[in-house]
Amino acid sequence: MVDTKNVFISHVHKDDDGLTDLKNLLKTKGMEVRDGSINSEKPNNAESESYIKSEILAPRINWASVMIVYISPETKDSKWVNWEIEYAYKQGKTIIGVWERGAKDCEVPEALDQYGHALVGWNADKIIDAINGDYEKFEDPDGTPCPPRPIGRHPC
């Protein structure tokens, strides 16, 4: 039986191909991901920042049950990624970071450090457990535990 999840994958556009790899990785373990993010297959041609946030991104994040933040070297400095994470947090969404395959020397966006529930390497089982709320640890790209990090969220 296939487990289907509505997710919003926050990322920088140069990583669109990595989103396909991520969804295919999860599919090998029986999880189908319906992705509501903006990518090259579903481009956003609007120019007004407030319109993009309120009429394009917010409804897609609201639709999703989980936000995945795809971590690559450029992700940290994306104002859009940080805004999407902060908005998802305010909506009570589960937010997990996933390191791109082979990631090295990347830093996570500040908002993920503050509001993330998990940060995992390229491991389908751990990603699925994090999506389902069964894994809440922060890892380096190789799967080893991260040093303790101050985070701004509090468990219920």
Q: What is the pLDDT of residues 98-120, one digit of tens each?
A: 999 988 878 999 999 999 999 99
CA pair distance 53, 57, nearest whole angstrom: 5
Q: What is the pLDDT of residues 138-147, one digit of tens each?
A: 999 988 888 7
pLDDT at 153 over 60: no
Q: What is the pLDDT of residues 48-64, one digit of tens each?
A: 899 999 999 999 999 99
Average pLDDT, the chain: 90
**What residues does each domain of the chain span?**
3-131
pLDDT at 86 over 60: yes
CATH fold for the domain made of 3-131: Rossmann fold (3.40.50)
Q: Are 117 and 94 in contact (CB under 8 A)?
A: yes
What's the start-to-end Cα distance of the chain, in Å? 31
